[in-house]
Chains A and B, each alone.
Chain A
């Protein structure tokens, strides 16, 4: 699971509304993969990023050199884009957990795939 994906996930446990985001990340196995850098792609993702969530996740994983916020004119700032590319796309959580901040419910991440299926009692009907 990449950090870009983590940034988009929110908790859907019953009764949990906007406080179900972001999911707290805990990682026991992380891998860094080189991924082809596409500046256009990264530039388009920047506006969608929830920065607080990203920074929290990056801190948990002890990532260095994470930009704190988008710089002015970031679309052309290659250095900035490359750093974001690394944080969002090249860091992969293989094993770990995601925790709903409101309900405390834990969702496991296994082989890079987060399992967010809810039991029947937990689903919002």
Chain B
């Protein structure tokens, strides 16, 4: 059921999360001591995590035998840099894991939906105590067994300058062996432990899945990373009968994620490339979504659609690295704006360069110097915590940090496209921004 999480890349079972080690002020020996204390100070949390992990494994095995598969997934850590939406899910995850531990003990094989779990989170205080009791029982049994493990460590930031990852990994490994009697096996361990030390936190966890959640069973060939595609689709507010267009659909990843999760929309994808369209068609067929998604061979700067006929546009604007983007991004946005209904939504994945371009081309009436300092920093917003700011335009639910009210005017790239919110995401090697705009009724320039 954890596999149903659509926006998470990798999941970990959290053992410990602490403030970072202050490498600068302590001597090397002292830091080593502190690292050892990670294990020795609180063996309980290690054992708890391991037993939860075991139970989750067992349940997964049961369920999969039930469904006649015999893969035995281990579970995996969610990277902190995986995107803001994923962060929220991570904290929910830890609670959910405890919830589910209890639920599975009581009700076997019930299908959990994400919503159900969220509502059960409210009752966590009471349930936590019950879980503790059960976990202790389980932990008692487990500490006798032989468990092979391996520690994978990552060090960066200040502490990375003092220690190498191998050193820290070895220390933790030795501490674990001393504390619990587990055996180290570097090749094929039962249990893998990830430790991450940097300037922001110190974290230890057990990975949950061997394969990242981003590799979907229903997508044959992914273009855009499917977690980002899903996140974009979820920002778009798709409802029953909504006309959703992706005018540069490529292999159709965004439309696939959207149609899978919100099957009641009307989805159309367009691309200029035959090979991409063929790939998209294959993907649609493999996912069984041919009926839900229509494909067109058209150009994004000349959409054969009447003005104001589309409700939602979601698109991954080519960054210019993998595919040639022969047209100007402004031209593209103009055409998108033309076909969009008033009140419609656009969600775009932009490279940092594109984003800067768009910010700069709007608000040409504003003095450059006051704009320069403000708009040069990307405004990163922690997800889903909208800070309501008084705003002149009623249509915009602005989630900007304080003092940026003037900036929202500066930032509209085109008369009627008003930026709503945006999130910085990581695509692995590069960063990008998911930007959401709404078309307002006040026509612009």
Closest CB of chain B to A89's CB: distance in Å?
7
Between A and B, 30 residue pairs with Cβ closer than 8 Å are: A1-B294, A2-B294, A4-B266, A5-B296, A8-B268, A8-B309, A9-B304, A10-B305, A10-B306, A12-B302, A12-B303, A33-B291, A36-B291, A40-B241, A41-B240, A41-B241, A41-B266, A43-B241, A44-B240, A45-B266, A111-B281, A113-B281, A113-B295, A113-B297, A114-B297, A115-B297, A117-B272, A117-B297, A118-B299, A124-B302
B32 touches A (CB below 8 Å):
no
The size of the chain B interface, using a CB distance under 8 A, is 22
* B57 / chain A contacts, CB cutoff of 8 Å: none
* Seed contacts A12-B304, A36-B291; 17 additional CB < 8 Å A-B pairs: A4-B266, A5-B268, A5-B294, A9-B296, A41-B240, A41-B241, A41-B264, A44-B240, A44-B241, A48-B243, A89-B291, A111-B281, A112-B295, A113-B295, A114-B296, A118-B302, A123-B302
* B266 / chain A contacts, CB cutoff of 8 Å: 4, 41, 45
Residue of A whose beta carbon sits closest to that of B277: A113
Tell me the complex Cα distance, A45–B266, Å. Answer: 9
| Complex contact B304–A10 (CB within 8 A) | yes
- 9 pairs of A and B residues whose beta carbons are closest in the complex: A44-B241, A115-B297, A116-B298, A12-B304, A5-B294, A116-B304, A35-B291, A113-B295, A12-B302
Tell me the complex Cα distance, A24–B206, Å. Answer: 61
Residues of chain B at the chain A interface (Cβ within 8 Å) = 240-241, 243, 264, 266, 268, 272, 277, 281, 291, 294-299, 302-306, 309
Closest CB of chain A to B297's CB: distance in Å?
4
* B303 / chain A contacts, CB cutoff of 8 Å: 12
The proximity string for A residues 29-55 relative to B, scoring 1 for CB distances below 8 Å and 0 otherwise, is 000010110101101110010000000
Enumerate A83-105 residues with CB–CB distance to B below 8 Å: 89
* A112 / chain B contacts, CB cutoff of 8 Å: 295
Partner of B240, one of A5, A21, A40: A40
Tell me the complex Cα distance, A44–B297, Å. Answer: 26
Interface centre among A8, A35, A117 (most CB of B within 10 A): A8
| Complex contact B297–A116 (CB within 8 A) | yes
Tell me the complex Cα distance, A45–B33, Å. Answer: 67
Tell me the complex Cα distance, A7–B298, Å. Answer: 16
- In this complex, the interface size class of chain A, counting residues with CB under 8 Å from chain B, is 20 to 34
* B277 / chain A contacts, CB cutoff of 8 Å: 113
* A38 / chain B contacts, CB cutoff of 8 Å: 240, 264
Enumerate A43-85 residues with CB–CB distance to B below 8 Å: 43-45, 48
Residue of B whose beta carbon sits closest to that of A50: B306
Closest CB of chain A to B242's CB: distance in Å?
8
Tell me the complex Cα distance, A118–B281, Å. Answer: 22
Tell me the complex Cα distance, A113–B294, Å. Answer: 8
Residue of A whose beta carbon sits closest to that of B303: A12
* B243 / chain A contacts, CB cutoff of 8 Å: 8, 48
| Complex contact B264–A11 (CB within 8 A) | no
Partner of A40, one of B264, B272, B298, B304: B264
Tell me the complex Cα distance, A123–B264, Å. Answer: 34
* B294 / chain A contacts, CB cutoff of 8 Å: 1-2, 5
Tell me the complex Cα distance, A48–B291, Å. Answer: 19
Residue of B whose beta carbon sits closest to that of A88: B266
Tell me the complex Cα distance, A116–B296, Å. Answer: 8
Tell me the complex Cα distance, A75–B297, Å. Answer: 33
Tell me the complex Cα distance, A1–B299, Å. Answer: 17
Tell me the complex Cα distance, A36–B264, Å. Answer: 11
A44-B241, A114-B296 given as contacts; is B305 within 8 A of A9 (CB)? yes
* B305 / chain A contacts, CB cutoff of 8 Å: 8-10
Tell me the complex Cα distance, A33–B306, Å. Answer: 28
* A116 / chain B contacts, CB cutoff of 8 Å: 296-298, 304
Closest CB of chain B to A47's CB: distance in Å?
9
Tell me the complex Cα distance, A41–B266, Å. Answer: 9
* B302 / chain A contacts, CB cutoff of 8 Å: 12, 118, 123-124
Residue of A whose beta carbon sits closest to that of B310: A8
| Complex contact B241–A117 (CB within 8 A) | no
| Complex contact A117–B264 (CB within 8 A) | no
* B240 / chain A contacts, CB cutoff of 8 Å: 38, 40-41, 44
Tell me the complex Cα distance, A124–B335, Å. Answer: 12
Tell me the complex Cα distance, A41–B241, Å. Answer: 5
Residue of B whose beta carbon sits closest to that of A124: B302
Tell me the complex Cα distance, A4–B299, Å. Answer: 20
Tell me the complex Cα distance, A45–B241, Å. Answer: 6
Tell me the complex Cα distance, A11–B303, Å. Answer: 9
Closest CB of chain A to B306's CB: distance in Å?
5
Closest CB of chain B to A37's CB: distance in Å?
12
